[in-house]
Structures are given as structure tokens and as C-alpha cells.
């Protein structure tokens, strides 16, 4: 999910009354909900689970168990620094380290639970497993979720009580559960016997799904609307070969470390081969995003020299 959504979830948690449990309570909730995304600064890391976005820092071990105590420690050090310089208000609540740590753990847990909801997926069990998990419950930026959380925070701050924030969080959970159920029906609606299915929600018409599936080395696409049919796709296209078994494609994988890293991340890889003179260009993409690729992010190209020099 986007960082605004993560931040609003942490803010809503704080407004339920948790921010009064300890000094720095609001900061702990908001920062901890964003903490796993620190991995965007470690793409250079030699350890693959850390270098992989939504890998180690988004897993139950790294993101939920290990990182929150680090954040709590940094907030405690900041507070000690502020106290030493007289920058803490006289009427500020006391800093309770136990509560600070608890809030960091609770808020950090919401990050992988939210990121689990979109088709980008997360490696929930990293570093023990590189398996990707997804439930396809939300578009990566959900205006409906933003509205619910925003209204809940605003009403709680206006009223001075946490009731509206609690209601917003409960409504958000119910919204996500309902959308996961819609995606489960969309998965079942994919024809044939696919080995992998993704059902991406639309941002506004959240009940609709763009369904992408893989079967026998080919990619299928379709749309799903539960109001049109609960068990069948509304539209679908013919299967298109993913080309991953072509000799030139396999040669390109072996010739490029960048392509190998891309394929470690990609869950529905596909390839296009173009020839021009003595050069063959193999472009890798991910079927989840191939309809709207972002150049440099969701594609990789490898040039292969096909003509041997004479003699």
C-alpha cells in the first residue's frame, strides 16, 4: 500500500487512545506503520532478502519482530536528548518504554497485513522462504480506505474521544475482508486449471477485478464483476504464450544478472523477442503489470549478439 494509507492506519490506532499510553505514542504508531519500507534504501545490499523490496523487512521476522524494538530504542534516545535539553513540556505524559515498544510492534504488524492485500505481494516468511503471499483485497491506493480512515481520525480529534477512530478501523477491516472474498470468487472464475491467478481490484469500482492467470506456459486475461456473474469472468482473452521456455529467452536469463534479479521478483514472468540484424533483444515483463508497464521498473531488456565473427 501507499505510505499515506500506512500513516493513516497508524494515526487512527493512536487516536483510539493508544497515543496517551506513553510519550511519543503518536510518533511510534505512525513511524512503525511505515518502518518496513526502509528496504527501499537497501537495494544495493549483498544479502538478497534485504535487497528485495517487500522481502525481509516485510516478513514476520524482520518487519514485525526485529525492527520495532530498533524504532522504540531510537524514540527513547530522542526523548532522552529532548529531556536533557529541557524540550519536553511540563504537562507531557511520562515515557513508558514498555508501552512504546508495544505500540511499535502493533503498528508495524499492520504494514505487512496491508501490503498483503495487493497483487505486488510480500515475502511473509522471509528469510526462511522466498514464497510470495497475496490476497488481492485492495488496489495499491484505495480512496475508499483513505476516506474511512481520514474521517475517523478527524471525528476523533474533534470529539476528543477514540470512538470514531475505532469505528474507522473496524469499517476498514470489514471492507478488506469483503474485498478478499470478492477476489476469491474471481480466482475461481479463471477458466481451465491455472497454476497462478491474480485478481487486481480497481481503485474506484472496488468490486471489479482485472484477472490474470498462467496455465501451461501461457498467460490469460479477463475482467470480473460480481454484479454481472459471481462464477464467470465478464470478459476474457485468448491465452498468449509467455515465451519463457524459448532458447533465446533462457540464454538471455543466463547472460544478465539484472534479468535474473528481475525474475527472482517476478511472479508471472513473460518475454518478448525482437530481432534486428545480428542482435536479438529479449524484454522481460511481469504479466501482473504488463498492461500498464512502468519503464525501468516492471521491464528488463537484454541484448544478445547472434552473428559470430568470421573465421
pLDDT of residue 45: 87
Asked if the model's pLDDT at residue 291 lies above 70, the reply is no
Share of the chain above pLDDT 70, in %: 96
pLDDT of residue 124: 95
HEC string of the chain? CCHHHHHHHHHHHHHCCHHHCCCCHHHHHHHHHHHHHHHHHCCCCCCHHHHCCCCHHHCHHHHHHHHHHHHHHHHHHHHHHHHHCCCCCCCCCCCCHHHHHHHHHHHHHHHHHHHCCCCCCECCCCCCCCCCECCCCCCCCCHHHHHHHHHHHHHHHHHCCCHHHHHHHHHHHHHHHHHHHHHHHHHHHCCCCCCEEEEEECCCCCCCEEEEEEECCEEEEEEECCCCCCCCCCEECCCEECCCCCHHHHHHHHHCHHHHHHHHHCCCEEEEEEEECCEEEEEEEECCCCCCCCCCCCEEEEEEECCCCCC
The overall average pLDDT reported for the chain is 92
User: What confidence tens digit (pLDDT) does each residue in 63-91 have?
Assistant: 999 999 999 999 999 999 999 998 888 88
pLDDT of residue 105: 97
Residue 310's pLDDT band, with cuts at 50, 70 and 90, is: low
pLDDT of residue 129: 93
Residue 305's pLDDT band, with cuts at 50, 70 and 90, is: confident
User: What confidence tens digit (pLDDT) does each residue in 181-205 have?
Assistant: 999 999 999 998 999 999 999 999 9
Of 35-49, 84-98, 220-234, give the range with the top mean pLDDT: 220-234
User: What confidence tens digit (pLDDT) does each residue in 101-131 have?
Assistant: 999 999 999 999 999 999 999 999 999 999 9
Amino acid at each position: 500500500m501507499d505510505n499515506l494509507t500506512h500513516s493513516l492506519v497508524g494515526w487512527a490506532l493512536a487516536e483510539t487512545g493508544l497515543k496517551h499510553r506513553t510519550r511519543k505514542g503518536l510518533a511510534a504508531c505512525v513511524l512503525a506503520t511505515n518502518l518496513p519500507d526502509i528496504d527501499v534504501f537497501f537495494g544495493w545490499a549483498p544479502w538478497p532478502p534485504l535487497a528485495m523490496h517487500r522481502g525481509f523487512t516485510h516478513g514476520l521476522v524482520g518487519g514485525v519482530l526485529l525492527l520495532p524494538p530498533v524504532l522504540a530504542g531510537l524514540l527513547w534516545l530522542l526523548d532522552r536528548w529532548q529531556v536533557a535539553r529541557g524540550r519536553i513540556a511540563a504537562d507531557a505524559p511520562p515515557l513508558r518504554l514498555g508501552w512504546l515498544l508495544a505500540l511499535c510492534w502493533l503498528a508495524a504488524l499492520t504494514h505487512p497485513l496491508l501490503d498483503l492485500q495487493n497483487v505486488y505481494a510480500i515475502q511473509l516468511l522471509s528469510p526462511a522462504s522466498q514464497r510470495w503471499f497475496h490476497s488481492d483485497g485492495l488496489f495499491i491506493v484505495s480512496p475508499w480506505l483513505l476516506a474511512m480512515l481520514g474521517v475517523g481520525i478527524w471525528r476523533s480529534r474533534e470529539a476528543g474521544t477514540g470512538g470514531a477512530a475505532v469505528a474507522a478501523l473496524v469499517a476498514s477491516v470489514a471492507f478488506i475482508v469483503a474485498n478478499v472474498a470478492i477476489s476469491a470468487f474471481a480466482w475461481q472464475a479463471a477458466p481451465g486449471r491455472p497454476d497462478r491467478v491474480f485478481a487486481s481490484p480497481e481503485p474506484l469500482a472496488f468490486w471489479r477485478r482485472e484477472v490474470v492467470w498462467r496455465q501451461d506456459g501461457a498467460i490469460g486475461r479477463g475482467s470480473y464483476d460480481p454484479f454481472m456473474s459471481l462464477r464467470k469472468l465478464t470478459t476474457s482473452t485468448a491465452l498468449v504464450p509467455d515465451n519463457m521456455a524459448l532458447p533465446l529467452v533462457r540464454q538471455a536469463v543466463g547472460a544478465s544478472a539484472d534479468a535474473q534479479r528481475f525474475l527472482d521478483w517476478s511472479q508471472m514472468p513473460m518475454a518478448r523477442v525482437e530481432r534486428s540484424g545480428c542482435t536479438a533483444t529479449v524484454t522481460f515483463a511481469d504479466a501482473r503489470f504488463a498492461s500498464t508497464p512502468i519503464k525501468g521498473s516492471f521491464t528488463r531488456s537484454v541484448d544478445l549478439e547472434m552473428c559470430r565473427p568470421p573465421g
